[in-house]
A and B are shown apart, each in its own frame.
Chain A
Amino acid sequence: MALTHRDPPASDPISDDAADGADLSAYLTPGASGLSRLDLLVSGAHCAACISRIEGELADTPGVASARLNLSTGRLAVSLHPDGDPRRVLRVLERIGYPASPYDPGSVREAQDREGRELAMALAVAGFGAGNAMIFSVPVWAGLFGQELGPATRTFMQWASAGVGAPCAVFAGMVFFRSAWKALRAGRANMDVPISIGVILTLLVSFQETLLMGRDTYFDAAVTLLFLLLIGRWMDHALRRRARSAAADLLALQAPSASILGEDGAERRSPLRLVRPGNRLRVRPGERIPVDGVVETGESEIDYAILTGETTPQAVHPGVACRAGALNLSGLLTLKAEAASEDSTLARIARLVESGAQSRSTYVQLADKAAALYVPVVHTAAALTFLVAWMLGIPAREAVLRAATVLIVTCPCALGLAVPAVQVAAASRLFRRGVLVKSGAGLERLAEADHVAFDKTGVLTEGRPRLLNADPADIARAAPLARASSHPLARALAEAAGEGPVAPGALEVAGQGIEARTGTGLMRLGRAAFVGAPLSGNQTELWFRDADGALFRFSFADALRPEAVGLAGALARRGLSASILSGDVEAATLRVAGRMGIPDWRSGLTPQGKVEALEGLKGAGHRVLMVGDGLNDVAALSHAHVAMAPGTALDASQSAADLVYPADHPGRIAEAIDTARAARRRAMENFAFAALYNLVAGPAAMMGLVNPFVAALAMSGSSLVVTLNALRLLNGGGR
C-alpha cells in the first residue's frame, strides 16, 4: 500500500519549499486493510489540551484515518488512508504549533520491551508468591516460639506454603536460571549461579523436610529472595531503557537524507544509503554535505567545525573536494558524489570508534568484582558447613539443611540490590539536572576519573560566532542587511543588533555576501573582496560598505560559554587536572585556554591525534574523562576511560559517550562527577554493610542457629537497609 506513496505524481499539486518537499514515504509502514502507519516524534505536547488539539486536528485532516499520541514518550502514531499525504500531516502539526519529525521505529525497542514485560511478570509472580507463602509460614514461625502447633497442622501449613511458593519460585527464578545456565555453559560463573543453586537447593531441601515432617522449611524464603533480587533487576532494566529510548529518539530524529539530481534536472530526496558515487547532489545553505564529493557548480563557504574543530569557514568553488559532515554555509552547491556513505570520512571515524569500544569492554563493574569475591567464599562456606556438620556426627539430612541455610541467609539480595539501587538513584538525581546517564558502568568509571580532556569548539565555546565589541551605531547601520542573510556571521551580527527592519530587495551573492540597492547607492555586507576593503586574510570578519561608500569592519569570535570560565577551578578543587585537545588553530585554542586557566592545551589535532593524546595521558597513569561533541571527537570519546557529550552533539558522539549533559551548562560536568563519586561511596557502604551482615549471618547459619523466621527477617532487613542507603542520594545527600 505504501508503494502508492513512493513516487508522487509529477502533477502533485503541493508545491513546497525544500524542507517540506522531502520524500517521507520511507517512513510509512504498511498496515492492515490498506492503511499505512506514520510514526512521528512531536515536540511541545505536555497536557490534555495538547492531546485533544493534536488528535482532533488530525482527525479532521483529509486522508488521516486515526491518530494517537503517546504523551509519555511524545510519539504520535498516525494511520493514513492510501490517499493520505504524510507531508500534509506534518504541515497541520506545524500550523497548530507542535513541530514533528518522522522516525523509524526500530525493532530494537520491541525486543527490549519484551524483556521488560518478562521481568515485570516475574516480579509480580514473585511478589504474589512471597506474600502468600508467608501467610502459611507465619503459623509455622509462631510454632517456633512456643505457640501451640501440632505436627499435623504444621505439615499442612508447610504443604500449603510449598504449593504457593514453589511454583512461583520456579516461574520467577527462570530469569536467573537461564542466565546462570548460559554463563556456566560459557565456562564462567556470574552472580546468577549462586542464586540459582541457592534457590533450587533450598526448594529441594524444603520439600524433603516437608515429606519427612521436619520442622524447618524455606519456601517463603526462596521466593522472597527472588522477589528482592528481581526488584534490583527491574531497576537496572528501567535505567537502561530510559537511556536507550532517549538515545533512540535522537538517532531517529537525525534521519539522514540527500537531494539527488536526476538526469532531467529534477531533484529527489533519498535516504543516504541510496547515494552512489557519481550521483549529483544538491546541498543548500544550512545543510550538511551528505557524502564526500567534489563541487561541480556553485560557490560557498564550508564549516568543518564538526569534523576538525576548526571554527574558520573555508571557501569552496568548483573542483574543490568536500568531506561528508561539513556544513554548507552560504551558497547553493552541486556536488558530484565520490563515495557511497559507508566509504565516507564518517565511516572511517566509525571504525576508529569500534576499536575504542573494544578496549573499554574489558572494564569490570563493581558488582561483578563483588560477585567474583562472593561466589567462591559462600560456596566454600556452604560446602564446609555440610562436611564439618557431617563429621561431627550430625545426620546428613540436618547437615544438608544447614548448608542450604548458609546459601540462603548469606543473601545475595543485599549484594544484588547494592549497585542497581545506587545507580538508579544517582541517575534520577542527574536526570533532574538534565544529565542523561547511559549506563551504570559509565557512572562507575566517571567516579574514577582524575583528568578531564576537553574539546574546545561546542563544548567550552558556543560553537558559533559572536560579534566582538563594536560601535552600536555601526551595528545598527549594517543590521538591516545582516537580517536578510542566513550566513552565520551575518546572523551573529543581526543577533547583536536585535529586532529591527530588514533591508528591502536584499540579494545574497553566494559565497561573497549580501547587497541591497537604496535610493542613494549600493550597500554591501560580506567578505573584504566583495565589499572592496583591503584584504586581511582574517576570515572571521565581515565588512560593511554603506550607500556613501564608508567601510566598517566587524570581527567575530567563538564565545566561551559562561559556565566554562570557572570549570577548571571547580575541577581542580575536586582533584582533577584538565587539558584541552582541539582541532582548531593555535590562536583560537590559546585564547580559550588562557581564559579558562588551563595551561595544558594542544591545537590542530586530527581525530587520530586526539586518540594518541589520550593514549599519552593514559600512559602517564591518568584515567581520562573526555568531553567532546564533534565527529573529530568520536574516536577519542570511545578511547577515553569515560566520555561525556553535550546534548547538542552529533548522535555519533552521544552514542559514544557514557553521559550526555545540557550543552549550555558545562558546569554540570563537575556536578555529575560529584554524583558519580557519591554513588560510588554509597555502593561501597552497601558492600561493607552486606559483608558485615554476612560475617554475622554466615557463621550463625553454619552453626545451625538460624531458623526460617530469622532467615526471612534478616534477608528482607538487609535489603531494606541497602535500598534506603541508596535513596539518600536522591536528595543530594552524600556530599
Chain B
Amino acid sequence: MSIVVILAPFSLALALIGLAGFWWTLRHDQYEDPQGDASRILIEDPEDRPL
C-alpha cells in the first residue's frame, strides 16, 4: 500500500503539469487563430534550412 504514497502525488504532479500547460497556452493566445496556425506550418520559407 505504501507505493500509493509515492504514486498518488506523482500522478497528481503530472496532471498539474498538464493543467499548467493549458493555462500557459490560454495566456499566450494559442486559441486565437487555430485555422491559421494549422496552415502556417505548410508555408515554405525560403530561408528555412535544416540545422
Which residues of B line the A interface, CB within 8 A? 1, 8, 11-12, 15-16, 18-19, 22-23, 26, 31-36, 39-44
Contact = CB atoms under 8 A, between A and B. Distances in A.
Contacts of A124: 19, 22-23, 26
27 contacts: A47-B39, A48-B39, A48-B42, A49-B43, A51-B39, A51-B43, A52-B43, A52-B44, A70-B32, A70-B33, A70-B36, A71-B35, A71-B36, A71-B39, A72-B33, A73-B33, A117-B26, A120-B26, A121-B26, A125-B19, A128-B15, A128-B18, A128-B19, A131-B15, A135-B8, A153-B1, A164-B12
A71 B43 contact: no
A626 B44 CA distance: 51
A164 B11 CA distance: 12
Contact of A121 (B12, B15, B23, B33): B23
Interface in A107-136: 117, 120-121, 124-125, 128, 131-132, 135-136
A71 B42 contact: no
Given A117-B26, A121-B26, A124-B19, A51 B12 contact: no
A268 B9 CA distance: 69
Given A51-B39, A71-B36, A120-B31, 18 more contacts: A48-B40, A48-B41, A51-B36, A51-B40, A69-B36, A71-B35, A72-B34, A72-B35, A120-B26, A121-B26, A124-B19, A124-B22, A124-B23, A128-B16, A128-B18, A128-B19, A135-B11, A164-B12
Contacts of B40: 48, 51
Nearest to B44: A52
A136 B32 contact: no
A71 B1 CA distance: 53
A160 interface: yes
Contacts of B33: 70-73
Contacts of B35: 71-72
Contacts of A136: 8
Contacts of A125: 19
A132 B15 contact: yes
Nearest to B21: A124
Size category of the binding interface on chain A: 20 to 34
Closest A-B pairs by Cβ, 7 of them:
A71-B36, A48-B39, A48-B42, A72-B35, A70-B33, A71-B35, A52-B43
A573 B1 CA distance: 69
In this complex, the member of B34, B39, B44 whose beta carbon has the largest number of chain A beta carbons within 10 angstroms is B39
Nearest to A153: B1
A476 B44 CA distance: 51
Given A69-B36, A70-B36, A132-B15, A48 B8 contact: no
Given A72-B33, A72-B36, A160 B8 contact: yes
B9 to A, nearest CB: 9
In this complex, the member of B34, B40, B44 whose beta carbon has the largest number of chain A beta carbons within 10 angstroms is B40
A152 to B, nearest CB: 10
Interface in A24-73: 47-49, 51-52, 69-73
B15 to A, nearest CB: 5
Nearest to A70: B33
B12 A132 contact: yes
Contacts of B42: 48
Contacts of B12: 132, 164
Nearest to A150: B1
B8 to A, nearest CB: 6
Contacts of B34: 72
Nearest to A116: B31
B11 to A, nearest CB: 7
Interface in A143-158: 153
A124 B19 CA distance: 7
Contacts of B22: 124
A160 B19 CA distance: 18
Given A48-B39, A71-B39, A153-B1, A132 B32 contact: no
B34 to A, nearest CB: 6
A128 B16 CA distance: 8
Contacts of A47: 39
Nearest to B23: A121
A132 B23 contact: no
A131 B32 CA distance: 27
A135 B4 CA distance: 11
A462 B8 CA distance: 68
A52 B32 CA distance: 18
A52 B43 CA distance: 7
B16 to A, nearest CB: 8
Given A70-B36, A71-B35, A48 B43 contact: yes
Contacts of A131: 15
Contacts of A135: 8, 11
Interface in A67-123: 69-73, 117, 120-121
A236 to B, nearest CB: 18
Contacts of A72: 32-36
A497 B23 CA distance: 61
Nearest to B16: A128
A622 to B, nearest CB: 43
A465 to B, nearest CB: 40
Contacts of B44: 52
Nearest to A113: B32
